[in-house]
Amino acid sequence: MRSLKDNFLSYLVPFRMSYRIKSPNVILLVIIWIAALCGPAAAQEQPSQVNLGTAVVRVAKQNIPAVVHIEVTERQEMLNPLLPFENDPFFRYFFNVPRMPRKFKRELKGLGTGMIIDSQGHILTNNHVVGGANEIQVLLADGNRYKAKLVGTDPKTDLAVIQILPKASIPHVVFGDSDKIEVGEWVIAIGHPRGLDQTVTQGVISAKHRRGIMDPSNYQDFLQTDAAINPGNSGGPLLNLRGEVVGVNAAIVSQSGGFEGIGFAIPSNMAIYIARQLITHGRVERGWLGASLQDLTPALAKSFGLETLKGALIADVTKGGPAEKAGIKRGDVIMSYQGKDISDGSALRNEVATSPVGKAVSVTLWRNGKEVQTILRIGNKEDAIKMRISSIKGRLGADVRPITPKETEEYGLKSKQGVAIIWLDPDGPLTRAGFEVNDLILAINGKAINGLEGFVDQVDSLPAQQRVVLLALDHQSGRTGYVQVMVN
């Protein structure tokens, strides 16, 4: 069957010859009419198609030069595990063991991937690849090797930035908008799985907004993909078919330790924000809402007169915090933030965390069966931590500080693991349990403490008048043990 365009053109040609139209304006009007009439039909007849094989080759060639192999060395000083027995005469007699050193050193090696993000040699990777490393070596695709320095890390998002000083200009990746990527869209992963350099795999986006994969308290909002990701891929790029980075490969779900079709990548929008913060400030400055958030359930949504489960329920408001100053109350449901729909509490927390401190943002609330608009001025997360620390002094009868790098090395701890006691209430719970100033608290109820903020988060979530088990380290002997404490 002939198309409308074919019929029209077959009519136009004899028309032009018969009437010998010489006016350019008339011809131009006819052409515009043809385009308007036949354009959509023509586009429908010739849909644009993407050759997946060609696209993967093109993206690989374009980005492999900007993907680097990272080798790390971590040196740890450990307490001798046999130290408690060294003064035991029976142990020394039967095993003929000489007096042992108090500590010994060990060296750990690790591999990972990174991507060059600018011409200054900044490289984006995962915190779990380079965090705590004493030495970082970077191998470029062209074979050049560089020693790298650590610019900054952010354990809350598992991101880090390192830097090399290249001898000449170097290629770098281009970032895309991870908010626009769709489930089912083709993606390409590049990395160094198990030390195999410049490995390229392909797959699709399996899901978006995967949260609570590793630590529910962290700022995580993963893209899920079935592109093959294995140990060593961490820190490598996940790219769309235009060659833009849409994610940073970070984790897998696996029973075997290898690829099983479930991988996770940190969205590029979050990654580039964190990278810029680390490059500019050496740390991440996060926004603060000043409210406790809760996800909606069908029963709660019905009680509030909502027809959807989308939104973040305000469970409590911090006195003097940004939310209270903006007139936000307990029981409000935040439906949108800066015009962007909010799906749940984690989504809102991530939006606030990546908002500049002091910025005024528009918020849409659901209150008493109707929408309410308000303006919220973003607070500083560090100020929030200080306020929360003062509020938990009474619960444990203690004040704490972060672990120093010297203590981390001396006791063989992981980076930012635990907190140290700097003040004790003589009649408080920790004093009654036998704690002293400078003792370390490493875990609460079996859950490791990740820095000062992690400690505050855990203590805040403990019910009142309940016994908890603390993993403590005695600062004098260096020994660890479990202690039961009644929390006020």
Choose, from 122, 128, 172, 192, the residue flagged as catalytic: 128
Token pair, residue 333, equals: 């449901």
Choose, from 69, 122, 154, 158, the residue flagged as catalytic: 158
Q: Which amino acid is at 136?
A: I
Active site residue 234: yes
Q: Which amino acid is at 219?
A: Y
Our CA angle for 312, 389, 330, nearest 5°, is 25
Active site residue 69: no
Strand duo 440-444 + 419-424: pairing:
antiparallel
For residue 230, what is the DSSP state? -
Active site residue 158: yes
Choose, from 206, 234, 268, 336, the residue flagged as catalytic: 234
d(CA 434, CA 40): 80
Contacts of residue 234, Cβ cutoff 8 Å, sequence gap at least 6 = 112, 113, 125, 126, 128, 129, 191, 249, 250, 251
Q: State phi, psi for 141 to the nearest 5 degrees.
A: -65, -25
d(CA 441, CA 444): 8
Residue 190 · residue 230 · CB < 8 Å? no
Token pair, residue 305, equals: 């007169």
Which of 291, 254, 217, 248 lies closest to 458 in space, CA to CA? 217
Place of tokens 């996770």: 264
Give the active site residues.
128, 158, 234
